[in-house]
Structure 1
Amino acid sequence: MLINITKSFLLVVFTLFTVACSDNNTPELGKQYSVLPNDLSSLKLAPITEVFSLTCGHCRNMEASLPEIESLTNQKIGKVHVTFNQSAQVSAMLYYAAVMQLDKQPDHDLMAALFEVVQQQEGTMEQKQARIEEVFVSRGLISPYNFDNSHVSDMEQHLTFADEVSRKADINSVPSFIINGKYLLISEGHKDIPDLAATINYLLSKSES
């Protein structure tokens, strides 16, 4: 009797061990990622594109993790600023005011300054404007408050593109990550940054296959 119990116990342990060893670590559709409602490949986004807003506290926190994601994926992360409400549209103007003058994405130091100036609540409207102007002027950039018609026209093109991406990708919350113009990461489906990067690498290879 004891021998039979021992055999049964070992069988159960072996079965559990086998199941544990065969756990599927492959990211799952609907859990770690979703398919975009529209294929954005024609828009020539970066393979990894963060959709964000300067008004978003979670986006500000994510900014500090972007270098780690870039290191783990060996990819430079692109950015698109959402325009899905009035406050996002205003902050998008500040972001693209920097992009159009630099002819590239702002570095992490400038991004940190833009997040801070947008999310800082204290002060009068005049004081807030002065802080915004200081962010630009201190870096040799023209303040968006001093833009001429050509600047405004360039700005409109950037905002139109950002709106198209946000609308076609059906972005409802930020930060979000679009992968190869086809997939959207589900942030809450990941436990940490390395886990998120693993899904990104899976989707990058999936798109190439």
Structure 2
Amino acid sequence: MPKHLTLQKRLTLAAALIALPFFGFAGDFVEGKHYIQISDQAPSKTPKVTEFFSFFCHNCFNMEVQYLPAIKAGLKSDISFDTKHVDFMNSDIGTEVMRALAVIHASERQTEMARAMFNAIQGADGAQGHHDHSAEGHSAKSHEPQIQSRDDIKAVFAGFGIDGAQYDKLADSKEADAKLALWRQQQQEFAVQSVPSFVVNDKYMVNLQEIRTLEELSGLMNYLATEKDKVEEKGGSLGWAALGLLALAAMGRRRLA
């Protein structure tokens, strides 16, 4: 085989290999379909996924119990996962429940405490989005929300070793106030209109209606968190890479001449 053909093939292969990282993910996930950009600001400094949810939401309870463990397991190790409570209710009890999540964030047993709050508000079968009113021993009162006031919330947290005074201190702290202010601000800024919603790097929102599998969801989150903006930053560098390949090809032709 002539040497110049061998060189040409090598250059073609090199160009293809350079292009692969930029088109592999982008070809799988389409902006406007699988996700939308919700902010013109720079992405968060570190990769993260944030779930906006509500303890009053059946679908959020279902997500918590059925899917979140697998979703988190599918995320890259350098991606953090955070939860923020929406303020759709705009009521005193709604605010108290938001403060409960701020207290949970200060605990080492976050998953257990979050599920306890879901159970207290929705009942054990709330994750299925319904109550079995025909079940033996069922009564209307048995499924009334246990959370009507801060005292009710304290009763839930007492089961985790947090007494009333400790709870008040955490719930009324400056840190909790800052969290609630941020959650409300971002709910408006990101136009969170339904829950659960997933926001990646404070910049992209996942369109769950277009996601078919948990693997696809985790893959999309990984892409948005660690690749999307890097691809765009490097997009312009493809031109320089092409120039470099052309220069290499010219050098090869001079050597063969």
Task: State TM-score, norm by structure 2.
Answer: 0.60
> After superposition, what is the alpha-carbon deviation per residue over 1:14-45, rounded to whole angstroms, capped at 9, x for unaligned?
xxxxxxxxxx9511112110000453746x68
**2:121 maps to 1:118:** yes
Q: Partner residue of 2:177?
A: 156
Tell me the equivalent position of 2:31: 29
Q: 1:149 to 1:123 in 2, by over 3 A?
A: closer
Q: Which amino acid aligns with 1:95?
A: L
Which has the higher Rg, Structure 1 or Structure 2?
Answer: 2
Shift of 1:89: 3.2
Q: 1:3 maps to which residue? A: none
Root-mean-square deviation (CA, aligned residues, Å) is 3.0
CA drift at 1:202: 2.1
Which of 98, 110, 130 is 1:92 aligned to? 98
Residues in 2 aligned to 1:49 and 1:35: alpha-carbon distance in whole angstroms: 14
Q: How far apart, in 1, do the equivalents of 2:153 and 2:55 lie?
A: 13
After superposition, the Cα gap between the structure-2 partners of 1:167 and 1:45, relative to the gap in structure 1 and judged at 3 Å, is farther
- Spell out, residue by residue over 1:132-183, the C-alpha distance to the aligned partner (whole angstroms, 9 max, x if none): 3232112122448962598354432221111112111111111111111210
Aligned position for 1:81: 85
Q: Which residue of 2 is the match for residue 62 of structure 1?
A: 63
Q: Would the alpha carbon gap of residues 27 and 124 (structure 1) be closer, same or farther in structure 2, given more than 3 Å must change?
A: closer
Percent of matched pairs sharing the same residue: 24
Report the alpha carbon displacement of residue 78 of structure 1 after superposing the two structures with TM.
Answer: 1.0
TM-score when normalising by structure 1: 0.72
**Distance in 2, Cα, partners of 1:117 & 1:137:** 13
When residues 195 and 153 of structure 1 are mapped into structure 2, their CA distance, relative to the original with a 3 A threshold, is: same
- Deviation for aligned residue 1:125: 6.9
Change in 2 beyond 3 A, CA 1:190/1:207: same
1:107 corresponds to: 110
Amino acid in structure 1 at the alignment position of 2:62: N
Tell whether the 8 Å contact from 1:38 to 1:168 is kept in structure 2 after alignment. Answer: no
Q: Is the 8 A contact 2:103 2:170 kept in 1?
A: no
Moved more, 199-208 or 80-89: 80-89
C-alpha separation in 2, matches of 1:80 and 1:150: 15
Given that 1:47 and 1:179 are in contact with CA atoms closer than 8 Å, whether structure 2 keeps it comes out as yes
Alignment gaps of 5+ in structure 2: 1-25, 124-142, 232-257
- Indicate the SS of the match to 1:77: strand
SS at match of 2:36: strand
Extract unaligned runs of 5+ from structure 1: 1-23
**AA in 1 matched with 2:98:** A
Report the Cα distance in structure 1 between the residues aligned to 2:151 and 2:28, rounded to whole angstroms: 50
